[in-house]
Amino acid sequence: MQRRGKMFAIIVTCVVTSLLVLVALNFAPPEKKIERRITHAPASGDPQFLREMSVLLGPGIIAGNKVEALQNGEEIFPAMLEAVRAAQRSITFETYIYWSGDIGREMAQALAERARGGVAVHVLLDWVGSVKMEQTLLDTMVDAGVQVERYHPLHWYHIARMNNRTHRKLLVVDGRIGFTGGVGIADQWQGNAQDPDHWRDMHFRIEGPVVAQIQSTFMDNWIKTTGEVLQGEAYFPRLEPADGMPAQMFSSSPTGGSESMQLMYLMAIAAARTSIDIKAAYFVPDELALDALLAAAGRGVRVRVIVPGEHIDADTVRWASQAQWGRLLQAGIAIHEYTPTMYHCKALVVDGYLVSVGSTNFDARSFRLNDEASLNVYDTRFAAQMTASFENDLAHTRRITFEQWQARPWSQRLRERVASLFKSQL
């Protein structure tokens, strides 16, 4: 009896130890972190800055692209569906959120129709982000010949990577038209941000040589998931210049280059000479990012940030964010809460020249844990459009003052302190 008790204790100890190890593997940073603040960078328009962004951080900057900003679901979904329905050879689609609802059914039906028409359709869904998806939607696609895969599904060989999700939002049609941005496939993104049930977001339609880089970013996770290499003219056709915008598709993943997205943001902020505008659905900067923003404000750069207000899908993120606002507000950085609905936009505009848009949030999860993708555009015309969009959103915000922040009640401070314990996972 005593021996049986000892064996039981050993088994329990082994099980608990194994679980702790698995948790530690999921919460530990995948690679060595950037440890020092970037203290110098050439100005954003300097040729040296462009060289470093091309060579040091990722794919080269390619000229000749056209990038169209789409506002909210009423512009985003019709453009995406139009492109899908016109596909002739291939569709590649990767997303984090795919839930059930009207737009979920419409997208599934459009993808299925093209597959029945002989188009090669490949869909990569994050397992966690698509857990709410009805089986009937999957059946609609699979029965029509769509190749649907889940990223890091719940299997024993993925246990150590369950905290690594693909947060990318990518759609490429015939290798010629690309889409990226913040939108997920769910009814919350429908409409025009007219009420708290319809979110504010942006997505981008892209033509030109940079679409090949978007396709390559999709292929990165497709190969990891399936082992299949999709190649040929159906996926990588010859692309002629569509406009004059220089751009690059920037990506990061814990399985390779997890710190590169944060490094890109830090370099862009260090390059700022006059202005930084940030749209952030989730704004929980770590010490390096805080220091970079404070340094920018200290050298006279105007820094403005728009974040969600009371309408947010993750209160813990808001509390962890608010805990850090004191130093930023004291430094003169303007923080505005968007009041009408959930604010899901993600954008960085530096000096009216560099614009970074895509799936990346300003937090540790995007910088270190998720697979992310952002399109960097180096163009004053596009930056002017994005600045105008920022100003329009600003008209629907409430600016937070340092005095207001300082006067928040003790209960709020307690929530912030608790939420801050988990900020490396937010």
Q: Which residues are catalytic?
A: 167, 169, 174, 344, 346, 351
Closest CA to 357 of 215, 218, 248, 242: 248
First-residue to last-residue Cα distance in the chain:
47
Report the DSSP beta bridge partners of residue 98. Answer: 185
CA distances from 107 to 84, 148, 165, 183, 426 (A): 9, 13, 22, 13, 29
DSSP state of 256: B
Report the DSSP beta bridge partners of residue 371. Answer: 166
Neighbour count for residue 156 (Cβ, 10 Å): 6
Closest CA to 191 of 291, 74, 331: 74
Neighbour-count burial for 259-297, b at 16+ CB within 10 Å, e otherwise: bbbbbbbbbbbbbbbebbbbbbbbbbbbebbbbbbbbbb
Rounded Cα distance, 238 and 167, in Å: 28
Reading phi first (left if > 0) and then psi (alpha if -120 to 50, else beta), residue 64 is in left
User: What phi and psi values does residue 136 have, to the nearest 5 degrees?
Assistant: -60, -35
